[in-house]
Amino acid sequence: MTSLFHDIIFGPVHSRRLGLSLGVNLLSTDSKLCSFDCIYCECGWNAEHPGGRRFNAREDVRTQLEATLRRMVADGTPPDVITFAGNGEPTLHPEFEAVIGDTIALRDALCPSAKVSVLSNATQLHREEVRRALLRVDNNILKLDSAFDATARLMNNPQSPAYTVRGVVEQMKGFDGRLTVQTMFLRGECDGQKTDNTTEEEVSAWLRLIEEIRPRQVMVYSLDRDTPCRTLEKVPREELQAIAARVEQLGADLTAKLGDKRPVLVCVLKGASFFYIDLCRCMNCAIDMDFIAVSSYGASAQSTGVVRLIKDLDNNITGRHVVIVEDIIDSGLTMQYLRQLFGARNPASITTISFLDKASRHPESYKTDMCGFEIPDEFVVGYGLDYANYYRNLPYIGILKPECYK
């Protein structure tokens, strides 16, 4: 069954995400106050625990936290983290910024190795004092359960009719990566309405928002405690790991290789544009962007064997670390041409990356340094790839039927 936290300071508990966690509840100890009413909340429905806008006094929080920290340090078991959670949304507290200041001061004085974390549903990011406070803590953990308003309203029940996912995402982007996005994945039925944020449509749209936000970390999890809605299903660990792997792969290898060198990422127009933008969003480092246009296809499905330069770079790449971003390696002629063209300009290094590779169509030496997927020898379109400028905007990669181009 669901339950409230009946103390200002609770725990410590061994958190699956944060370690030995000492909890801080800024809301009333006998009622729930939240700007969401999530179908999976361990505290139950808002209506089950009414009590109005009541908050624990700042001084009471500081006094009890200090006493608990002193006791834990004296016992030789200081917390790994001090976590603001409790009976609702902690950032609703009118003195939230001051409480965070008190907590950081106590942490620094008594257990400087502990982290300060806030678990928030991100509904109060429009308040400047909340943003300032969240930028001071070690773990600013913000909720984003879906890219779609309809799903968010089913899962989270935001209490404000003005709530939109896009509005929250724009506010998250303002943290410049200094946040962790936390997402609950589940499926099931609640009050006769089915919900499932694990579908390909849901996950793909969510990933695009993650790319926009560029958080330093993403936490994905599923049901582990009792929920007010009894007909929800826990998502298996294997599915969560598969979703997490897709996030981790985006830009990680390239950032690790060149993250401290401010590389110039060169998009080979027009086909690579979709992949290029997604890749740039996923790189957690400073980059310069440039574009080059070449052609070896024209309106044909076969390469002509002759590469024409249509648009050159705007940047001088002498002494720079250059990344050539291509949509697909077919014959490999375009990439070889660009390697030679750029090599003559004396860059510090050249790294090649392609979204797709028809490995059977070219010599092994023509392979790129990094590749998303190897594919069979089929004519593919979508996600930027075209035939005679058709099909570029398809939201997927498809095989074009031969009768379309023969």
Average per-residue pLDDT for the chain: 86
DSSP for 309-341 reads EEE--SS--TTSEEEEEEEEESSSHHHHHHHHH
User: Of the candidates 21, 44, 55, 15, which has an alpha carbon nearest to the alpha carbon of residue 229?
Assistant: 44
364/134: higher pLDDT: 134
Q: Enter the tokens of residue 328.
A: 């697909």
Which residue among the candidates 330, 357, 369, 377 is catalytic per the annotation? 330
Q: Active site includes 330?
A: yes
Paired residues of 55 in beta bridges: 27
Domains and CATH numbers, the chain: 9-249 (3.20.20.70), 253-404 (3.40.50.2020)
What's the predicted TM-score (pTM) here? 0.59
Paired residues of 119 in beta bridges: 141
Span 131-183, pLDDT tens digits: 999 999 999 999 999 999 999 999 999 999 999 999 999 999 999 999 999 99
CA-to-CA distance for 45 and 323, rounded, in angstroms? 51
Mean pLDDT along residues 360-378: 85
pLDDT given at position 406: 59
Span 147-160, pLDDT tens digits: 999 999 999 999 99
